[in-house]
A and B are shown apart, each in its own frame.
Chain A
Amino acid sequence: MDRREAIGKISLILSGTIIGAEFFLSGCKSDPKKISYLFTAEDIIFLNEVAETIIPETNTPGAKAAQVGKFMTVMVNDCYNPEEQKIFVDGMTTLKEQCKEQYGVNFIDLDARKKTEFLKTIIKEQNKTAKNKDIQPPTHYFKMMKELTLLGYFTSEVGCTMARRYIPIPGKYIGCLPYKKGDKAWAT
């Protein structure tokens, strides 16, 4: 019985397919010759800052506290195909260089407001590339970073237990309860 499948399909359509998870839908199609990128400790610090800008600390911890940088490297190493890995790794370089060019300092050294401002310019570029091509463009590196940030954060301990509500053993199911705006969503 495929209850899970029906609901899973909906989440994919509503939330967009997680890169890598496309295999679930289309089966195997990639080149099995896989490069294993070795991310450095510095890369993880950099990715943590990108992730924190996407999901910042508010009244709950942000992506850095959820170690999303490390999570991204695990997913890119293990779940991405070589083309996707290249886009992601080249994307890190592009981000760093473009930031240096625009602000004269490293991304990680920008203050939070400028980090946001900078990533918003990247989003604008991403939208432009998506619109300009007749053919399906390759996935933009920033889309990858954002997807992995959201997946990593909302399945992390802080994401589940602090940003959302996580009850590992509900004990029972109640089908219809009042909800008021501001109540947190269930984590699972």
Chain B
Amino acid sequence: MENNTYDAIVIGSGISGGWAAKELCDNGMKTLVLERGRNIEHIKDYPTATKDPWEFPHRQQMPLKALEENPIVSKCYAYGEATEHFFVKDKEHPYIQEKPFDWIRGYQVGGKSIIWGRACQRWSDFEFSAPQRYGYAVDWPIRYDDIAPWYSHVEKFAGICGNKDGLEAMPDGDYLPPFEMSCVESDIQKKINARYKDRHMVHARWAHLTKPEPIHLEQGRGQCQARDLCYRGCPFGGYFSSVSSTLPWAKKTGNLTIRPFSVVHSIIYDEEKGKAVGVKVIDANTKQETLFYAKVIFLNAACLNTNLILLNSTSSRFPNGLGNDNGLLGKYIAFHNYRASVFGRVEGYEDKYYYGRNPTNPIIANYRNLHKQDTDYLGGFLTFVFSTRPTPGDVDGVIGADLKNTLTEPGSWVAGMYMQGETIPKESNHVRLSKDKKDAWGIPQLIMSVSYDDNDEKMVADFLEQSAEMLSAVGVKDIQKNDSHRAPGLDIHEMGGCRMGHDPETSLLNKWNQLHLCKNVYVTDGACMTSTGNQSPSILYMAFAARAANHAVQEIKNGNL
């Protein structure tokens, strides 16, 4: 007989759900983690992790049939023959694109934390205060000082490498030693930092164990081996994921139950008690319905599925979705703009090379609209910098030994930059439930209505101009500017829909990530984001989850939940 009552339920086992589970279990809470996909065990379930290139029949390209069956996920940079088992296939989980939106998902224990990008910069107060200062979205109910201790808490445990650079726009964290820059990157850094007083290029801040500490060894993780095969799962535990870190840790407390194949239909609201009492689950395989109960519920299904579950959690008290009296649930969806990149050929450095494969990129902290509005658009962008020395792909018209010799030596260096731009949340960018279309589990499909606007176009143009100028200034030649014009979603940084704020009239969550109107439900994934900032957000979700879990434990002790 399955136990259906726990102290806490966490919906979702990805990067934020894993953290909620760890903190709750560490605090003695009997915790049930619900995951809609299959179980994944660290190392054992990474089938391709140690394969050599020639072991893949199509050398990591996907066969035509798979591409045709999966036009959406096939666009994702990390999807391929070595990783496809960690990505949701288009047909299995349909949704409706009112406007083009490429929704990339990972339905398995660990979620997308197995296949994430791993950049981990902290937000600064420039970002937390920007909506209030420049008049967009609503004011964040917290500031940097509220979250800084929790950043430290999660950074120390997850293991983030980076340098302490003392930048106002990108506060320092508790870092392991950084990855080195290449010779080209070091020179670009010197030249940019000398030429532009407002721009600072620094080492990557990434979730890799460059020098593991006892807390990481205790998790059974070891040093990053610079293989750069992260998206396959790391048998060394060199990068952070829920399956290599938080979930096994939580399991060791004896307080954790993980239940795979558990599709959450809705959260059950009890009108008499005036709070949520549990979760309705549909078995992914048998489609059998089960109810689970707990004092507190953490919703970490990943941004858009979190919105979906709340919208689908209707009751006579909340006919429009749980906590949604103001009708804003599912609205103000935003994301990060990755459309633009620049790169060119680097002259010289023919006598320089590198050893190993760097899984990270140096960063230029945002330099736009910090102290004041200094552009014709809102928001800022982060710039990732890269260099590499690839072998030529071919030499036109040449065959034989000459061709072979040319292709066995490295060619010219190339260097480039790509953007991670803030987008401004607006009411018209929204998701909502379909009234007639359902998925295989009887749950309404999600309708995506999210697009770029003029502000994004202006930011892309500015990024391209500034970045091309910087590359040119440091001596890069034949600079190409690219705007991929790709659809939102491929960034895999969707945020908002259930935003935090001071006021229940204009936001869904309070400063502790509790639903204003249903305090024992916490949302600590991307859905909680009031604005997007320009930093890679996952480490912030981790910090929110840890902070909220400890808040929940305290509130239960105090008899408030």
Contacts and interface: CB of A to CB of B under 8 A. Distances in A.
B180 A176 contact: yes
A63 to B, nearest CB: 9
Contacts of A18: 61
A122 B403 CA distance: 16
Contacts of A79: 58, 61-64
B480 interface: yes
Interface in B367-396: 384, 386, 388, 390-394
Interface in B164-204: 179-183, 185-186
A126 B61 CA distance: 26
B43 to A, nearest CB: 15
B88 interface: no
Contact of B414 (A5, A10, A119, A178): A10
Nearest to A169: B225
B414 to A, nearest CB: 6
B401 interface: yes
Interface string A68-99: 00010011001111000000000000000000
Given A79-B58, A163-B404, A173-B180, A24 B75 contact: yes
Given A4-B77, A7-B388, A187-B53, A171 B399 contact: no
A155 B52 CA distance: 9
Contacts, number: 221
Contacts of A135: none
Nearest to B388: A7
Contacts of A81: 64
A151 to B, nearest CB: 6
A11 B407 CA distance: 13
A1 B355 contact: no
A55 interface: yes
Interface in A94-130: 116, 119-120, 123, 127
Instruction: From A27, A167, A173, name the one whose CB has the most chain B CB atoms within 10 angstroms.
Output: A173
Contacts of A127: 397
Given A7-B386, A34-B64, A183 B393 contact: no
B65 interface: yes
Nearest to B66: A78
Nearest to B353: A179
Contacts of A21: 61
A153 to B, nearest CB: 8
A188 B357 contact: yes
Interface in A1-58: 1-11, 13-16, 18, 20-21, 23-24, 27-28, 30, 32, 34, 53-56, 58
Given A18-B61, A27-B71, A178-B351, A173 B391 contact: no
B536 A54 contact: no
Given A7-B386, A174-B356, A175-B183, A58 B404 contact: yes
Nearest to A188: B53
Given A1-B118, A2-B117, A10-B416, A78 B63 contact: yes
Contacts of B394: 15-16, 146-147, 150
A141 interface: no
Main secondary structure of the interface of B (DSSP, over half): loop
Contact of B410 (A7, A163, A179): A179
B469 to A, nearest CB: 19
Contact of B353 (A24, A123, A156, A183): A183
Given A58-B405, A123-B399, A160-B53, A176 B117 contact: no
B350 interface: yes
A188 B356 CA distance: 9
Interface of A: 1-11, 13-16, 18, 20-21, 23-24, 27-28, 30, 32, 34, 53-56, 58, 60, 62, 71, 74-75, 78-81, 116, 119-120, 123, 127, 146-147, 150-152, 154-157, 160, 163-164, 166-188
Interface of B: 50, 52-54, 57-59, 61-65, 67-68, 71, 74-75, 77-78, 116-119, 179-183, 185-186, 223, 225-228, 231, 338, 341, 343, 350-361, 384, 386, 388, 390-394, 397, 399-401, 403-405, 407-411, 414, 416, 418, 420, 480, 482, 491, 536
14 contacts: A2-B77, A6-B341, A6-B343, A9-B482, A71-B59, A78-B57, A116-B399, A150-B407, A166-B52, A170-B356, A171-B226, A172-B223, A175-B180, A182-B409
Given A27-B74, A156-B53, 5 more contacts: A15-B394, A123-B397, A150-B393, A163-B404, A178-B353
